[in-house]
Amino acid sequence: MQLHVSTGDGLPIYLQIANQVKYLVASGRLAPGDEIPPIRVLAHQLLVNPNTVARAYLELEREGVVQKRHGSGTYISDAGSPLARKERLKILSERIDALLAEARHLQVEPLELLRVIKERSQTIQPKENK
Amino acid sequence: MNPSDTLKAVEIAGLSRRFGAKLALNQVSLQAARGRVFGLVGANGAGKTTLIKHLIGRLKAQSGSVRVFGFDPVADPVAVLSRIGYLSENRDLPAWMRVDELLRYTEAFYPGWDRAYAGQLREQFGLDPRAKIKTLSRGENAKAGLLIALAYRPELLLLDEPSSGLDPVVRRDILEAIIRTVADEGRTVFFSSHLLEEVDRVADDLAMIDNGRIVLAGALNEVKENHHRLVLRFDSPQSSAPKVAGILSLTGGGQEWTAICNGKLEEVVAAAARAGGRVVAEGSPSLDEIFVAWAGAKPV
């Protein structure tokens, strides 16, 4: 599991970690049942406070993305991320805004952009649900 | 109650300190909880070192009180210093000693000295035991100072600008030491820095000091979550920063201004609307932006 934290970012580091784990699950790079590193190990790897990693894991557990198993470790849940739809859309809208701005700059109309998104979606589809 | 039973590693209340005409510390109050990493942030000359010197009893409080694990560092130096591993800003190690001599010399002061751990740190830091302190590079000097602060496993690791002027590799060693101190042993770390990037990585709590005054203190996550960056657009160009209640700093010019604010977002947005500005972008400011906004803000 390769994560990267950025300190120039205003987003608290625990949220950066939690969001990246969610992203890895959503993109299939972490599968249900996969173990994620112990808190201390990830803290050393990312060079961040272990309390911060603990907070990220707690957040992920609360949202049902991961599960703790007694005396062993922390694993990606079978249920996947039951993150509220509103929350998921909120994460996306920021990126969509940036994309729309870029498209406008490059003189690509929103409708054309939508067509490209559909095309790309079909291209990457087969890689899911391996 | 035994003073050392307190849950606070550090408690400072109403501390002021004057050097001649300069008020170096102005009514400083802060608390650092056990088992957490506390970052003291401020520009050079803001009062960080003066504050830390009060924690080790090198300066006596002119007014207010200072407690470390419940003890007064001036009245009870043994109780305090035996619990603190301290790395000073200018390291001040005896230049004529060799590294191995420094270790033996320091060991004599601390019953809790862990010789195996000291040896392990020395190898990890790549310090030659036969090298004279005065021949060490700046980075090696810092690592030697850090080694003797860590090797008796103090309850409180106190670091004054630990990575100031050091290269990224040595800074990484220092950050790792801080992380290991809290991760593996549940001890407390109190460090000062003007590098907000470091504070962002390792601190649980922080206080920002500016001109001897604490301008902001709290849990790092809460501080970051409570601050917002808004870009305001006005219908006509503004010749000077528009007055908007609840905003810490406003920079920009013409029709667009960037505001850093904290607290209730809706109230600031409403105040901005009354001043004729609407929010065109919203984001989370970095710790740097928050600090600059507070350092520039005038006391109310």
- Judge if B134 and B243 occupy the same domain: no
Is A44 within 8 Å of chain B by CB?
yes
- Judge if B124 and B207 occupy the same domain: yes
* A101 Cα distance to chain centroid: 23
Provide CB contacts within 8 A for B247, sequence distance 6+: B259, B260, B261, B268, B271, B272
Whole-number mean pLDDT of chain A?
84
Q: Give the Å distances, CA to CA, from B156 to A7, A13, A17, B43.
A: 26, 24, 28, 24
Give residue-wise pLDDT tens across range B40-60: 999 888 999 999 999 999 999
State how far the Cα of B162 lies from the Cα of B192, in Å rounded to an integer: 8
Q: Bigger pLDDT: B287 or B263?
A: B287
Instruction: Read off the CATH number of the domain in which B288 is found.
Output: 3.30.70
What size, in residues, is chain A? 130
Chain B 215-234, CB below 8 Å of chain A: which residues? Answer: 220-221, 224-225, 227, 229
Average pLDDT over residues A11-28: 88
Residue B300: its pLDDT value, please?
A: 38
Interface contact A10-B224, CB threshold 8 A: yes
Domain boundaries, chain A: 13-76, 85-127
- Judge if B282 and B187 occupy the same domain: no
Q: Which residues of A touch B197 (CB under 8 A)?
A: 7-8
Chain A nearest-CA residue for B290: A10
Residue B86: its pLDDT value, please?
A: 92
Amino acid in the structure at residue A49:
N
Bridge partner list, B222: none
Is B182 within 8 Å of chain A by CB?
yes
CA-wise closest residue to B292 among B208, B174, B199, B176: B208
Q: Give the Å distances, CA to CA, from A124 to A92, A117, A118, A120, B271.
A: 18, 11, 10, 6, 46
In a domain, B271, yes or no: yes
Nearest CB among A5, A43, A51 relative to B204 is that of: A51
Nearest CB among B36, B176, B284 relative to A10 is that of: B284
> What letter does residue B55 receive in the DSSP assignment?
H
- Judge if B95 and B24 occupy the same domain: yes
- Judge if B108 and B182 occupy the same domain: yes
- Judge if B246 and B113 occupy the same domain: no
Is B288 within 8 Å of chain A by CB?
yes
Tokens matching residue B206: 């922080």
Instruction: Read off the CATH number of the domain in which B183 is found.
Output: 3.40.50.300
ipTM of model over 0.85:
no
CA-wise closest residue to A80 among A3, A5, A27, A4: A27
Interface contact A10-B172, CB threshold 8 A: no
State how far the Cα of B278 lies from the Cα of B22, in Å rounded to an integer: 43
Give residue-wise pLDDT tens across range A21-63: 988 887 778 888 999 999 989 998 999 999 999 999 999 999 8
- Judge if B195 and B267 occupy the same domain: no
Residue A105 scores a pLDDT above 70: yes
Question: Which of B198, B200, B292 should we substitute to test contact with A (largest number of A Cβ atoms within 10 Å)?
Answer: B200
Interface contact B183-A11, CB threshold 8 A: no
State which fold the A13-76 domain adopts: Arc Repressor Mutant, subunit A (1.10.10)
Residue A127 scores a pLDDT above 70: no
Tokens 């490209």, located at residue = A116
- Judge if B280 and B255 occupy the same domain: yes
- Judge if B53 and B156 occupy the same domain: yes
Of B154, B176, B211, the one marking the end of a domain is B211
Interface contact A12-B172, CB threshold 8 A: no
In a domain, B108, yes or no: yes
State how far the Cα of A114 lies from the Cα of A110, in Å rounded to an integer: 6
Chain A nearest-CA residue for B202: A49
Range in B67-76, B228-237, B268-277, B288-297 the model is least confident about: B288-297
Chain B 54-73, CB below 8 Å of chain A: which residues? Answer: none
State how far the Cα of A19 lies from the Cα of A6, in Å rounded to an integer: 13
What's the domain count of chain B? 2
Residue A11: its pLDDT value, please?
A: 83
- Judge if B145 and B48 occupy the same domain: yes
> Which residue segment(s) compose the domain that B234 sits in?
226-296
CB distance B52 to B87 below 8 Å:
no
- Judge if B205 and B251 occupy the same domain: no
In a domain, B272, yes or no: yes
Is A10 within 8 Å of chain B by CB?
yes
Interface contact A49-B172, CB threshold 8 A: no
The alpha carbon of residue B249 is apart from the nearest alpha carbon of chain A, in Å, by 16
Q: Give the Å distances, CA to CA, from A89 to A110, A112, B1, B60, B285.
A: 18, 21, 53, 56, 22
Chain A nearest-CA residue for B35: A51
Bridge partner list, B234: B277
- Judge if B144 and B262 occupy the same domain: no
In a domain, B221, yes or no: no
